[in-house]
Amino acid sequence: MGLAKNAKGTVLLQSAVVSAILLVVCVGLLGLTRYEHSRQYNRIHWSEAYYAAEVALLEGVQKIADVPATQTVQSIYGTYTASSLPNTPDGDVKEVTFTIGPDPQNVPTYHLVTATANVNGKRRTLQARVQYRPPSQVFNHEYFLNNWGWWWGSSITGNGDNRSNWDFDFKDKPTVNGHIYAAAQIESNLVPVNPFASPPFKGWAGSDPLTYCHVGTERVKMPNLKDLTYYIQKANGTIKQGNTVIVNKTFGFSGTKTGVYLKGTSTNPIQISGTVVVNGDVILDGVITGTGTVYAGGNIYIAGNLDYKNGPTWSLPPNHASMTPAQRQAWYDSWVDQQFAA
């Protein structure tokens, strides 16, 4: 009897211990499950906050894109709430706003969009620098030709990137301090250049043609000048010489003269400001100054020499011969930013 009672007591004790262990395990599993459940919800809310902020950011970008050319982007600066979004946010989104303001780097054509969303306590903020009406990629190059690029001459020097929408032909060792892009071939007197042999140009491209020469690249679309209607609507500038206005927004769409001959001197340069449209041909000669774009329904001719008064200065970076292509490109990009900021 005594042994039986002891055995029963031992079994009860073991059962109690096992039950206690199982209870601890179950409580632990429940706690772990609850923690994992909460963690997954937090991750979902974190992601939802990102997507809500992204929607607000894109709406801010779209508002900038929708600003007409006759209006300034500064006119829409401010903070916008969920009511400005195209669709009502989900109920979990407690707050969503976006703000449009000036560029922190003070580049006039750039603006800053900041979007914030709060989903059940999870807050995400996104920012984007937005360029208003970015110029055509044509203007990313110091030399661009829509057809056949042709650089024959040892006295030619190009500082910046160059692009041809067809072949690009070089001869007599011109200096090219920048990338060469050709939609077809980079050639020398109609013979494709071998990047492993001596290239027909000097400068950065000549010292490292494998890095700076690009063949078979995508063609960059040129502005369509067959119909000038769009550009006439955007015209907002002038061409002047001294106090005389030669072109006021447009020229040559009435009367007998459709083109203009512009000859400037160092003391009386041709001043180009903003966007102008000329129905016929434009002949440029002498000295010009200003910042703007001239669209011509005919051709633009360079007569003799054309010099830019007070243009941006260019000098090779110190120790450029020992710099890597990436370092040269970074230096060049910084130089461009400084010139445009000025």
pLDDT over 90, % of the chain: 53
Residue 122 shares a structural domain with residue 145: no
From 185, 220, 255, give the residue that closes a domain: 220
Q: What tokens appear for 41 in the block?
A: 């919800």
Q: What are the CA-CA distances from residue 189 to residues 144, 185, 311 (Å)?
A: 19, 11, 33
What confidence tens digit (pLDDT) does each residue in 110-162 have?
A: 999 999 999 988 899 999 999 987 777 888 898 998 889 999 999 999 988 99
- The answer, yes or no, to whether residue 37 has pLDDT greater than 80, is no
Number of domains in the chain: 3
Which one is predicted more confidently, 208 or 313? 208
- The answer, yes or no, to whether residue 342 has pLDDT greater than 50, is no
Specify the range with the lowest mean pLDDT, choosing from 93-102, 259-268, 322-331.
322-331
Q: With 0-12 CB in 10 A as exposed, 13-18 as middle and 19+ as buried, what is 42? A: middle
From 110, 132, 154, give the residue that closes a domain: 132
18 Cβ contact list (under 8 Å, min separation 6) = none
Residue 323: strand, helix, or coil: coil
Q: Is residue 27 part of a domain?
A: no
CB 292 within 8 A of CB 275: yes
Residue 243 shares a structural domain with residue 270: yes
Quote the pLDDT of residue 262.
Answer: 96
Q: Is residue 313 part of a domain?
A: no
Count helices and strands in the chain by DSSP H and E runs:
5, 21
3 Cβ contact list (under 8 Å, min separation 6) = none
- The answer, yes or no, to whether residue 58 has pLDDT greater than 80, is yes
Q: What is the CATH number of the domain that holds 78?
A: 3.30.1300
Residue 141 shares a structural domain with residue 214: yes
Residue 301 shares a structural domain with residue 254: yes
Residue 291: strand, helix, or coil: strand
Quote the pLDDT of residue 118.
Answer: 93
Residue 264: strand, helix, or coil: strand
Residue 52 shares a structural domain with residue 107: yes
Residue 46 shares a structural domain with residue 128: yes
- pTM equals 0.56
Residue 215 shares a structural domain with residue 239: no
Closest Cα to residue 181, out of 223, 230, 138, 152? 138
Residue 123 shares a structural domain with residue 47: yes
Phi-psi region of 103 (alpha: psi -120 to 50; beta: other; left: phi over 0): beta
Q: What tokens appear for 342 in the block?
A: 């000025």
Which one is predicted more confidently, 70 or 292? 292
Q: What tokens appear for 160 in the block?
A: 């910046």
Torsion, Cα of 170, 176, 180, 184 (10° steps): 0
From 132, 149, 184, give the residue that closes a domain: 132
Domain extent for 244: 229-308
Q: Is residue 186 part of a domain?
A: yes
Residue 79 shares a structural domain with residue 151: no
Residue 199 shares a structural domain with residue 243: no
